[in-house]
Copies of this chain bind each other. A is one copy, B any other.
Amino acid sequence: MPQPHDILFRTLADPTRRAIFERLCREGDLTVRALTAEAGISQPAVSKHLGVLKRAGLVRDRHEGRQTHYSAELGALSPLVDWTNQMTGFWQSRFNDLEDLLNRMDQ
């Protein structure tokens, strides 16, 4: 029932969680330990955020020994881009409709 962009908006609404995702976009592949070190919150809290990000499809995890590496899944952002394009599109077509109306009124 929830559309893809719905999950994305909800997931990225939290600043801490978004900061984690941003770091993964910048730096590419980080362990939970490394993420926790700069997140300013406890390790369980980071793990919880990573769980949410993973369920949203925004990150992938890779197990290596006793540590887990996470990386950003950039393609997951496309529903967000689609949504904004759609909104812009609605605006455009309303503008065009108005233009058409004015043209007809001219004649």
Chain A residues in contact with chain B, CB under 8 A?
2, 6, 9-10, 12-13, 15, 18, 21-22, 25-26, 28, 72, 74, 77, 80-81, 84, 87-88, 90-91, 94
Contact = CB atoms under 8 A, between A and B. Distances in A.
A6 B10 contact: no
The binding surface of chain A is classed by DSSP as helix
A87 B25 contact: yes
A56 B77 CA distance: 22
A80 B18 CA distance: 13
A90 B18 contact: no
Contact of A91 (B15, B72, B91): B72
23 contacts: A2-B15, A6-B15, A6-B18, A9-B9, A9-B12, A9-B13, A12-B13, A13-B13, A21-B87, A22-B87, A22-B90, A25-B87, A25-B91, A26-B90, A26-B94, A28-B94, A72-B87, A72-B91, A74-B88, A74-B91, A77-B87, A77-B88, A81-B84
